[in-house]
Amino acid sequence: MGTIASSTLKLGGTVYKVTSDRSKEDKFYIYGNFQWLKTPSFHLVDKMTIGFPSNSGLYLPTSGGTVKQHQHRYSQDPQGNGRSIDYSIKYSPSNWEPSAGVAGSYDLKPSTSHTKHKGYIGQYVYVPKSKNAKNGIWSSKNCWNT
Segment 56-108, tens digit of pLDDT? 889 999 999 999 999 999 999 988 888 999 999 999 999 999 888 999 999 88
Phi-psi region of 89 (alpha: psi -120 to 50; beta: other; left: phi over 0): beta
Total of domains in the chain? 1
CB-based contact 124:28 (threshold 8 Å)? yes
Residue 1 placed within a domain = no
Q: Domain for residue 114, yes or no? A: yes
* Domain CATH for 105: 2.60.40
Number of other CB atoms surrounding residue 117 within 10 Å: 24
pLDDT digits (tens, 9 = 90+) for 9-54: 899 999 988 999 999 999 999 999 999 888 877 777 888 999 988 8
**145 domain-assigned:** no
146 occurs within a structural domain: no
Is residue 3 domain-resident?
no
Residue 27 lies in a domain: yes
Is residue 142 a part of any domain in this protein?
A: no
Give pTM, 2 decimals: 0.85
Q: Which domain range does residue 35 map to?
A: 9-137
